[in-house]
């Protein structure tokens, strides 16, 4: 966060938070007539993001997390963006600016995972790269680099690959050089501290980072929706880029729901970086907005209202469970914050926020979220926080219990 403020097996994820049930699962009821909540959960999905943010996390915390993911028997995992902190760290020994080695490090993490690994970009990876502390890069050029590194093929990352559907329409923008390179260009990637947006040439490009896959009856969709007001605030906002990408995101969203309907999908999970804010409850973590109109009320540029209105319309029309998974504000939660235009809660919509960086508990507070998936159940999704034993900070991991057949510790 850096804003003002198919084929494979096993399902996992989303829905509304109605309570904590057995096995420590946060579940949400999205009632389908005739269905029950047997919760056999034939597969699970790993969710993580906003990591790593410093050397300790990069060298110890994330490798421990990856080992835990590999030990969890998942169908696949998804990183919801932000490969680094919002600003570079002076003296760091791992990548903390937006130089190429940041993406190389992240690619290594993803390809260390045994099962398919998906990724969607975060604002710290590209929109905020124009900050001097991040190397003063051209942000759109950095998005192009991510497209080359992570999205050059229709396949996922990970040791086991999964083929994905890719948004191919050339409705986004890419970097095409500078209007005045003699003034602006410092080297191949970085620019002087001037307004890069006004000095940047663009050309149409496919939003190849937007992907979807139908897996055992559930549709999963990634969308390039960003913090930092979705590229409308911070150092060099780019309204033209945001307008093009927003239209592409909404088109991809609608196409994905249409395909989910056509394929009789039991649920849809949406994954992006941004916490767009849904109401007036907490301006310290997300934009404040009118929960009925979804218009932002805190005076900041609103890069999310049109997207949220589209999400709401599609969720209502779909009727079945919809989960929106995001990072950005680093506050693990599963809740139901989306209201309709009359102020009524959308029972079938669940917001799921992954853990992200939490340096207040020590530099190595690095954990993930398991989405349990049962397409035949009423809820479809349940969520279980996964506290990596090797990364526990405040309370060390307890020794394992020697539990006998009688259920007692021996």
Q: What is the mean pLDDT of the chain?
A: 88
Q: Would residue 244 count as lying in a domain?
A: yes
pLDDT at res. 195: 59
Q: Which residues contact 256 (CB under 8 A, 6 or more apart)?
A: 212, 219, 221, 268
Q: Would residue 398 count as lying in a domain?
A: no
**Count of domains forming the chain:** 1
pTM (predicted TM-score): 0.89
pLDDT at res. 404: 67
pLDDT at res. 363: 84
Q: Would residue 1 count as lying in a domain?
A: no
Task: Encode pLDDT of 314-334 as tens digits.
Answer: 999 999 999 999 999 999 999
Largest CA distance in the chain: 77
**CATH number of the domain encompassing residue 145:** 3.60.21
Task: Encode pLDDT of 32-65 as tens digits.
Answer: 555 766 668 999 999 999 999 999 999 999 999 9
Q: What is the 3-state secondary structure (H, E, C) of the chain?
A: CCCCCCCCCCCCCCCCCCEEEHHHEEECCCCCCCCCCCCCCCEEEEEECCCCCCHHHHHHHHHHHHHHHHCCCCCEEEECCCCCCCCCCCCCCCCCCCCHHHHHHHHHHHHCCCCCEEECCCHHHCHHHHCHHHCCECHHHHHHHHHHHHCCCCECECCCCCECEECCCCCEEEEEEECCHHHHECCCCEECCCCCHHHEEEEEECCCCCEEEEECCEEEEECCCCHHHHHCCCCCCCHHHHHHHHHHHHHHHHHHHHHHHHCCCCEEEEECCCCCCCCCCCCCCCCCECCCCCCECCCCCCCCHHHHHHHHHHHHHHCCCEEEEECCCCCCEEECCCECCCCCECCCEEEEECCCCCHHHCCCCCCEEEEEECCCCCCCEEEEEECCHHHCCCCCCCCCCCECCCCCEC
Domain span including residue 91: 19-391
pLDDT over 70, % of the chain = 85
Task: Encode pLDDT of 367-384 as tens digits.
Answer: 999 999 999 999 999 999
């Amino acid at each position: 966060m850096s804003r003002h403020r198919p084929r494979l097996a096993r399902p996992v994820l989303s829905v509304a938070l109605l309570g904590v049930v057995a096995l420590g699962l946060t579940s949400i009821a999205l009632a389908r007539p005739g269905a029950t909540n047997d919760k056999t959960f034939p597969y699970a999905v790993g969710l993580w993001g906003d990591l790593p943010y410093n050397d300790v996390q990069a060298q110890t915390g994330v490798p421990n997390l990856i080992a835990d993911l590999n030990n969890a028997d998942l169908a696949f995992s998804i990183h919801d963006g932000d490969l680094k902190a919002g600003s570079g760290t002076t003296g760091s020994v791992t990548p903390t600016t937006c130089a190429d080695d940041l993406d190389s490090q992240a690619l290594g993490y993803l390809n260390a995972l045994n099962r398919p690994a998906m990724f969607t970009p975060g604002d710290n990876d590209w929109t905020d790269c124009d900050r001097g502390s991040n190397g003063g890069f051209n942000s759109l050029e950095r998005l192009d680099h991510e497209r080359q590194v992570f999205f050059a093929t229709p396949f996922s990352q990970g040791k086991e690959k999964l083929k994905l559907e890719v948004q191919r329409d050339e409705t986004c923008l890419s970097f095409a050089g500078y209007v005045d390179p003699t003034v602006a260009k410092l080297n191949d990637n970085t620019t002087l501290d001037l307004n890069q947006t006004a000095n940047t040439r663009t050309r149409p490009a496919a939003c190849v980072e937007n992907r979807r896959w139908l897996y055992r009856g559930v549709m999963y969709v990634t969308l390039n929706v960003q913090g930092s007001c979705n590229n409308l605030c911070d150092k060099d906002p780019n309204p033209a880029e945001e307008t093009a990408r927003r239209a592409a995101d909404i088109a991809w969203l609608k196409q994905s729901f249409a395909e989910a309907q056509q394929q009789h999908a039991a649920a849809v999970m949406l994954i992006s970086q941004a916490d767009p804010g849904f109401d007036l409850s907490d301006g310290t973590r997300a934009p404040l907005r009118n929960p009925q109109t979804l218009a932002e009320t805190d005076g900041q540029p609103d890069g999310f209202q049109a997207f949220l209105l589209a999400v709401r319309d599609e969720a209502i029309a779909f009727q079945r469970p919809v989960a929106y998974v995001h990072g950005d504000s680093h506050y693990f939660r599963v809740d139901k914050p989306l209201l309709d235009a009359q102020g009524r809660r959308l029972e079938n919509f669940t917001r799921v926020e992954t853990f992200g960086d939490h340096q207040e508990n020590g530099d190595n507070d690095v954990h993930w979220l398991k989405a349990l998936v049962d397409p035949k159940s009423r809820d479809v999704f349940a969520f279980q926080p996964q506290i990596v034993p090797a990364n526990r900070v405040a309370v060390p991991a307890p020794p394992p219990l020697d539990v006998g057949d009688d259920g007692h510790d021996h």
